[in-house]
Structure 1
């Protein structure tokens, strides 16, 4: 059977294990059902997720022009501490930025390749943690806007990384950590402005189980620009990665805006 469409990040559903769906305009695939089966991925072109023109993708599924003009990819996305909507100051589009920035945000600890600190909108819990391939996660602060989350994250980056080593995450070589105990340490590390938002009593630890039959000993990243046609047996899904039997891994989110055909 053949499926064709523009890649966007896989949709997920919490479960044991997590369920993954590749969604196209007119069809979708439950990727869990393809485990231990051969699939073929063929590159067919580009389509910008913003303007929908068939232009080469620059970053994050956007063409060059859209990446530098759309409010959906402003600098405050990657660096929440740069948010200014709470001050009524626009970056690219104040109406859009107020809608996204002026809502509850969570600062969290997650175990990916090690303990990392991060920020997400409250509505994206636990989706954000699944997309990162976290095995465990816990919220430490819930604040009313993105700026406060950003300055909290900046303070905690003195003690925790904010990056994931994707190779270690996919190889599942992570150590065991006690996130509840780590959270206890944090109350005295966050800025004064956000101490009142510390999750003092709530220790809701998320444990996430991914549909992986076997973790690879070594990983090789599939780049559709360099390898426009690939086939292999799917042996796992973690984060936004498809894991194949030979250790090849495909970052679906990293290939957003690519038009593909998939044969199963």
Structure 2
């Protein structure tokens, strides 16, 4: 069977084991059902997720011009502390920025390769944690806008990591941590503006990923360079497909690539 479509981040469902899906234009694949199947991935062309033109992808699934123009790629996306919609100040499109920034946001701790702090919109819990490959996570504060979440993250990352080591995450070389204790230790470093939003009584969320075999030395697949690859799918974690030969493919990092998938 053969499928073709433009890569976008895999939608997920947090069930007993995370369920992964891949949107291939006219087909919607449940990737869990493809575990232990051999498949071929082939690079076809590019399609910008914003203008949908056949233009080389620059970052985040966008061509270069769209990356610097679309409001969905503003600096405040990666750096929430730069959010200004609460002040009525526009970055690229104030209406869009108000819609996204002026809604409840969560500052959280997630354990994927190590304990790290992060920010996400409340409606993206637990999706954000799944995408990072976190096997456990907990909310620290729930604030009414993105700016407050951003300044809280900036303050807390002085005392806890804010990055994930993708190799450690994929090798599953992680230990369980008591995230309630971590949250309590970090409470004193929450900025004054966000202290009233501290979540004192919530518990950890635990996440199970569909992985049959973890790689010992994961090798990242550059599909643009290699053009095609064939291997047996043995796991999915974060937004990575894990193959039996320890090749891994980051679907999210390859958004905007049009690919052909053939199942054997």
Task: Return the TM-score normalized by structure 1.
Answer: 0.99
| Residues 39-60 of structure 1, C-alpha deviations (whole Å, 9 max, x = no match) | 1100000000000000000000
Cross-structure match for 2:176: 176
- The alpha carbon displacement at 1:27 in A equals 0.7
Cross-structure match for 1:84: 84
Q: Which residues of 2 match residues 239-250 of structure 1 at below 5 A?
A: 239-250=238-249
Q: Distance in 2 between matches of 1:122 and 1:132?
A: 16
SS in 1 for 2:119: strand
Gapped regions of structure 2 (runs ≥ 5): none
Q: Which residues of 2 match residues 1-264 of structure 1 at below 5 A?
A: 1-201=1-201, 203-264=202-263
Q: Distance in 2 between matches of 1:48 and 1:204?
A: 40
Q: Distance in 2 between matches of 1:34 and 1:25?
A: 18
Task: Select between 102-111 and 16-25 the one with higher mean Cα deviation.
Answer: 16-25
Q: Distance in 1 between matches of 2:29 and 2:40?
A: 13
- The alpha carbon displacement at 1:204 in A equals 2.5
SS in 1 for 2:148: helix
| Residues 46-104 of structure 1, C-alpha deviations (whole Å, 9 max, x = no match) | 00000000000000000000000001000000000000000000011100000000000
Gapped regions of structure 1 (runs ≥ 5): none
Q: Which runs of 4+ in 1 moved over 4 A?
A: none
Q: Distance in 1 between matches of 2:226 and 2:203?
A: 42
- The alpha carbon displacement at 1:17 in A equals 0.9
- The alpha carbon displacement at 1:161 in A equals 1.0
SS in 1 for 2:223: coil
Q: Distance in 1 between matches of 2:164 and 2:61?
A: 20
Q: Distance in 1 between matches of 2:260 and 2:224?
A: 14
Q: Distance in 1 between matches of 2:21 and 2:109?
A: 26
Task: Return the TM-score normalized by structure 2.
Answer: 0.99
User: Aligned Cα RMSD in Å?
Assistant: 0.6
